[in-house]
Amino acid sequence: MGSFAVVAIGGNSLIRDKNRRRVEDQYLAIVDTAKSLVDIIEAGYRIVVTHGNGAQVGFILRRSEIAFKSEGLHFVPLVSCVADTQGAIGYQIQQALNNEFTLRGIRQQAVTIVTQVKVHEDDPAFKNPTKPIGAFYSEEEFTSLQASHPDWIMVQDAGRGYRRVVPSPSPVEIIERKAIQTLVDNDFCVIAVGGGGIPVLDTGGAQLKGIDAVIDKDYSAALLAKDLQADTLIISTGVDSICLHYGTPEEKPLSRMTLSETRGYIEEGHFAAGSMLPKIKAIVQFLEQGGQKAIIAQPQHLKQALQGEIGTWIVQD
């Protein structure tokens, strides 16, 4: 049946620049990305697509904050923002893919699954929330919000005001995994686990409860790839290769790394915690659990990256 890949699209790659942030602009970016995804399918791959949502969740939260300040309207819970963006971004991706399938005469259909991902209640991240979300608030607004939302954790952010921080726990289980697998087995192109998944806790008796947190999308993509026994994990991002000494005169792009070399580079501190490091750690996790290779490249260059013409390959030793 050919090779099988999970492709993780970065949420920021769907926002081309500060002047093109509208929903309509995002769709145009997705249309371009869809062409690259279908190029992969035409090259003989079956794919499952996942995506980021950081910028889009930020927009929803900002609208919610403005509505709160202006009209006293209730806030949208973060867990609902993740679900909202899964549906909205998934809709755009599946529409763009289905249109591209039709143009190329490919008998396939894309479908989106709103996906929950279980996390552990005792994950250390819940004791030390560090992921900032939403706007900055004044001292007066902070006092009001603490009264109306006593469960929120808010911190002073470098003198710019108070900001909410939330946990970023590790993904443990993809709740809809069997449904995703069934669709894949029946030749659907599935979009799932958007934004790292909707974080849920098992409250006992297999009862699930959503929780305000942010799961790193790349770790969830690695878990999804492992569960579906994909041989390839593709992470699209804003650069076309991994670099050592990034941003310095000694910058060195890498076209290929082995798993052991990658571990060594991590230990040497080559990758920034807020950008490339989570992607690299997710790839290491995927390869350690049986994956064959991972590829990092820009979304418009995915076909060339699969052919080894661009991007970075990380492979087993």
Catalytic residue among 35, 118, 217, 226: 217
Report whether pLDDT(17) > 70: no
Q: Is residue 217 flagged as an active site residue?
A: yes
Question: CA 181 to CA 228: how far, in whole Å?
Answer: 7
List the catalytic residue out of 35, 118, 226, 279. Answer: 279
Tell me: pLDDT of 295 over 90: yes
Residue 132, pLDDT score: 74
* Residue tagged active-site, from 10, 11, 134, 197: 11
**186 assigned to active site:** no
Instruction: Assess whether 99 carries a catalytic annotation.
Output: no
Residue from 12, 54, 58, 98 carrying the catalytic annotation: 12
What is the reported pLDDT for 158?
Answer: 65
What pLDDT, in 10s, does the model give residues 108-161? Answer: 999 999 999 999 999 999 998 887 776 677 888 888 888 877 888 888 876 778
pLDDT of residue 272: 80
The whole-angstrom separation of Cα 102 and Cα 205 is 45
Rounded CA-CA distance 197/215 in Å is 7
> What pLDDT does 218 receive?
94
Annotated catalytic residue within 54, 99, 131, 210: 131
Query: What are the structural domains of the chain?
Result: 1-23+43-128+167-229 (3.40.1160.10), 231-317 (3.40.1160.10)
**pTM (2 d.p.):** 0.89
Q: Which of 9-23, 131-145, 237-251 has the lowest mean pLDDT?
A: 9-23
pLDDT value, residue 4 = 95
Give CA–CA dist 244/83, Å, rounded. Answer: 36
Lowest-confidence segment of 25-29, 149-153, 194-198, 224-228 by average pLDDT = 149-153
Distance (Å) of CA 164 to CA 41, 63, 121, 155, 160? 41, 15, 20, 6, 13
